[in-house]
Structure 1
Amino acid sequence: MGTDRLAALPPVREVPAERVREALVGTPTVVVLDDDPTGTQTVRDLPVLTRWTADDVAWALDRDTPAFFVLTNTRSLGPADAAARTREVVRTCLAVAGRRGTDVVFASRSDSTLRGHFPLETDVIAREAGAPDAVILAPAFPDAGRVTLDGIHWLRDGDGLTPVADSEFAGDATFGYRSSRLAAWVAEKSGGAIPAADVAEVGIEELRSGTITLPRARVIVLDAVVDDDLRAAVLALLAAERAGARHVYRVGPSFVRARAGQDAQPPLDDAELAQAVGRGTSPHGLLVAGSHVGRTSRQLERLAARRDLAHVELDVAAVLDGVPLEGVVTEVLDGLRQRTTLLSTSRTLVTGRDEAESLDIARRVSAALTTVAGRVVGESAPAYVLAKGGITSSDVATESLRADRAWVRGSMLPGIVSLWAPTSGPPLVVFPGNVGDDEALADVVDRLEEAACA
């Protein structure tokens, strides 16, 4: 499928974000449980929590925004720990909202290429918050070329469409899958507990017709090629919820933007960046790269070709052997005094014999990476920190920077790569492993370095 199918689509029905904002008046706050920090890349001016004490949740609710994020980082956890963490967050949010006499609804934000704990996380939310009428499945992320069409999830490159199951992401050591049709994917990931017959699809033709009827089903899949498609679906969902329907959302980043009543915004401009970065003891930035997808490796190669970097590599085999980290910390600090410094893991991906062992290796390597980054930031605050990779970004935010509360200020590239302003500490750029062209990382670093020197 490609050019012919896209050309045959009905015209986009424009649904302004303002219409969604009007429909949001009086509706519950959306709590977005984000399984890594990259779900924030499509939005701006929303709160983010990396802890979920009652005080933290109350702080977020006091911001009076249509949504806020809670960074659970469950994609880095095994199933039992992911369930326990999700349960804890949901219970805390429900308790705080209950004491305040307010309502919340939950969105489980996960990877737009379908990696993550599904249906485990939505099952936990349903048990704690009450069984929903349906789980809304909307992984589309048009900004990054992920679209859902005819119930199938695709990677879009220009006018070409590749089924997501044919991509490198489907071969993930922990969260791999075989199905691109989302009904079959639900059945596959649930081990048959949710058969494909219990999954309904809302197609692109209906979304663009102006009349949307939500089907009765355990899971409802939403087609989406552009944000207007998602906003059309959001209006139908809000109408159903006003009439008493209850939903749990399992979504990609773009649905959160639509559900929060936000439109696509241009990247942060030079003046905004200059205000955000450059206040550290070092005039340069610290880059932390843990992602091993091919796109990240290509981006790192292009960055090194375009900029004179200090590059310190954390050897994965040495980490797994328990080699002390002091020498790596010293090397990064020496580099940061003179120029932009990249701290990365060695590029050879080390996996275990099974899913659990692969997760354990990933956690140990990430812990070493963030320990080094934390010691460096504690001794010489950089102008900014850029974290490359979802789990890496989460661990840098929570462990290295201790950024318990932050604001998403906006994106560095159109619809991708977000800048966080923690309530204390250096700004953090969250750069997913699987987005942007080969020059994207170098482009972002160029802008950050210019802003730091402004």
Structure 2
Amino acid sequence: MNIQAKDILSRYPALSKQAVDTLWEKERSSFTHQIIVLDDDPTGVQTVHGVSVYTDWTQESIEQGFLEDNDIFFILTNSRAFSEEETRRVHQDIAERTAAVSKQLNRPYLLISRGDSTLRGHYPLETEVLYQTLKEQGDSIDGEVILPFFYEGGRLTIEGVHYVRQEDELIPAGETEFAKDRTFGYRSSHLADYVEEKTGGRFPAKDVTLIPLHLIRKLAVDEITDLLMNVNGFNKIVVDAAEEQDVRVFAIALMRALKQGKRFLYRTAAAFTKVIGDITSRPLLTASELVDPDSASGGLIMVGSHVQKTTDQLHKLKELPQLHFIELDAHLVLEPERFREEVERVRLDAEENVREGVTTVIYTRRERLDLGENMKEKELQLSVDISRAVTSIVQNFTVRPRYLIAKGGITSSDIGTRGLGVKRADVAGQVAPGIPVWTTGEESKFPHLPYVIFPGNVGAVTTLRDVAAMLENRT
């Protein structure tokens, strides 16, 4: 049942920022863990800036991340586009290498599985593989923190129920289009029930520990710490949060528990990574900070995500008359030769327009390819094939665009890693709430390119249009 946001939030008193900041400074100043965030698509950096993103997980890259001045770095796995077997293998490799580097450098660490704030992805597979692998390495883990709160996207958890905010209403996540995802769908909005559902009953809802909002708003740090200290057996901890300060209060208690020897894994959205990484807020990026004023070429916008929000945003984007639009018939993926011809047609058309200074939008056909029942793995594979074809357009592009926007998680990951050949990027900040920008590295196809990573499920219906208009105006 939908509820009015003001009705439920009015039940809880506001936190004192000064009181929270005082406690935070005391705890965070003595916190020495290295924070490694495993990002299942490139949107996990949508709350941070001034951090590194690595697109591989070799032991050398992990060690380089540990040795940076920052105490947080991201590894882009893009596992939401993986099969279960590939997801298992990658997370086992990362856990083994992280444990080895930690022992080599004698530094403790936090391992965060950053997932979708609307609960889609390989859960519980990712954290269970991390848990089992670390256990084999001699590292005991007491529990798992589940914290999908993401304010910029309107994802709030209150009284254990996860909501998606639309205008002034809070809709239980299990009643949204995201819960109907053909690959990662679910029924439960109450996160304890979600855990029981996703684990097939191995972790019953009754055993899940809730960190409730009423304790957080009372600043009851000692009580929250006690709740964390009592968790064992890899049981789950669900954290309420309706604003970023709520996450900060929880993190204060968490750091106290860690200092007393507790160990946890984390399945969270982007807000927790910003808070635990102690990353400040910064103003949104402007065109003057991103776009080379001397560039005569047009921008390039690649739209791949098929959630309804993206389709609605694409329709609004078409209101900008100066843009050139090209549809890629992705359904031709079932006919490989015709599909190759289609991809080549689109690339040549786009190159011609970008070269002439016209920003070009390439978007995949909006109707989802539906193969019928019991074909989830096949559909996932075809979506990967389509994404690789879209990626090849960037990979083979002969004109440097003024900027590049990629819409959708899988799309933006494949374009970043395969299309642009990025090995390490710097996160410049956000161009709109929840929409991060990479500055590509020297090794990439187009060094120092502003690369806007636009999640499929983020933003108002006008946000894609507004971002493009801002970059076009260079103001």
TM, length-normalised to structure 1: 0.94
| 2:126 maps to 1:121 | yes
Match of 1:137 among 128, 146, 161: 146
Of the structure 1 ranges 331-340 and 96-105, higher mean CA displacement relative to structure 2 is found in: 96-105
Amino acid at match of 2:322: D
What is the CA distance between 1:418 and its match in structure 2?
0.4
Show the counterpart of 1:357: 378
2:247 paired residue among 224, 230, 245 = 230
The correspondence for 1:436, drawn from 459, 467, 470, is 459
Task: Give 2:361's aligned residue.
Answer: 342
Given residue 50 of structure 2, which amino acid in structure 1 is its aligned partner?
D
Once residues 162 and 358 of structure 1 are traced to their aligned partners in structure 2, the CA distance between those partners, rounded to angstroms, is: 28
In structure 2, do the counterparts of structure 1 residues 21 and 50 end up closer, same or farther at CA, with 3 Å as the change threshold?
farther
Q: Measure the CA separation in 1 of the matches of 2:35 and 2:51.
A: 11
Change in Cα spacing, 1:88 to 1:24, as seen in structure 2 (3 Å) is farther
Residue ranges of structure 1 left out of the alignment (5+ in a row) = none
Is the CA contact (8 Å cut-off) linking 1:403 and 1:423 kept in structure 2?
Answer: yes
Over residues 378-416 of structure 1, what are the superposed CA-to-partner deviations in whole Å (9 max), with x where a residue is unaligned? x111112111001111111111001110111100113x1
Q: CA deviation at 1:250?
A: 0.4
- 1:59 corresponds to 2:64: yes
Alpha-carbon shift at residue 97 of structure 1 (Å): 3.2
Question: RMSD across aligned C-alpha pairs, in angstroms?
Answer: 1.9
Q: 1:369 aligns to what?
A: 390
* CA distance in structure 2 between the partners assigned to 1:63 and 1:436 by the alignment: 32
Structure 1 CA distance, aligned partners of 2:80 and 2:354? 31
Matching residue of 2:414: 395
Of 305, 317, 322, which aligns to 1:308?
Answer: 322
| Distance (Å, rounded) in 2 between the aligned partners of 1:17 and 1:306 | 48
> 2 CA distance for matches of 1:196 and 1:24?
36
Matched-pair contact (CA < 8 Å) for 1:351–1:361? no
Letter in 2 for 1:239: R
3-state secondary structure, aligned to 1:148: strand
4+ residue runs of structure 1 moved beyond 4 angstroms?
277-280
- Which of these residues, 4, 7, 16, is aligned with residue 4 of structure 1? 7
- The SS at the match of 1:386 is strand
Name the structure 2 match of 1:165: 174
Name the count of aligned residue pairs.
446
Counterpart CA distance in 1 for 2:415 and 2:26 is 33
Judged with a 3 Å threshold, the aligned counterparts in structure 2 of structure 1 residues 57 and 307 are, in CA distance, closer, same or farther, namely farther
User: Residue 176 of structure 1: SS of its match in structure 2?
Assistant: coil
The residue matched to 1:306 in structure 2 has which SS?
A: coil
Indicate conservation of the 8 Å contact 1:21/1:260, yes or no.
no
Change (3 A) 1:279 1:391: farther
Matches of 1:26 and 1:35 in 2, distance apart? 26
1:33-432 alignment, distance < 5 Å: 33-129=38-134, 130-212=139-221, 213-214=224-225, 215=227, 216-217=230-231, 218-274=235-291, 277=292, 283-322=297-336, 323=338, 324=340, 325-338=343-356, 339-353=358-372, 354-376=375-397, 379-414=398-433, 416-424=434-442, 425=447, 426-432=449-455
Aligned equivalents of 1:243, 1:49: Cα separation in 2: 31
Letter in 1 for 2:281: A
Using the TM superposition, give the Cα deviation of residue 18 of structure 1 relative to its aligned residue in structure 2, in angstroms. 9.1
TM-score by length of 2: 0.90
Structure 2: runs of 5 or more not aligned: none
Decide whether the 8 Å contact of 2:438 with 2:452 is kept in 1.
yes
- Are the equivalent residues in 2 in contact too, given 1:17–1:262 (CA < 8 A)? no
Cα distance, 1:347 vs structure 2: 0.7
- Which amino acid is the alignment partner of residue 47 of structure 1? S
8 Å CA contact 1:139–1:251 kept in 2: the answer is yes
Separation in 2, partners of 1:284, 1:170? 37
Q: Deviations over 1:176-229 (max 9, x none)?
A: 110000000011111112111221111101011121324234000000000000
Letter of the structure 2 residue corresponding to residue 285 of structure 1: G
Whether the 8 Å CA contact 2:320–2:469 is kept in 1: the answer is no
Deviation at 1:162, TM superposition (A): 0.8
Measured in 1, the distance between the counterparts of 2:287 and 2:299 equals 16
**Counterpart-to-counterpart distance in 2, 1:284 and 1:181:** 46
State the alpha-carbon separation in 2 of the partners of residues 18 and 448 from structure 1.
40
Write out per-residue CA displacement over residues 333-383 of structure 1, whole angstroms, 9 at most, x where no aligned residue. 11212300111111111133322122112111111110112111xx11111
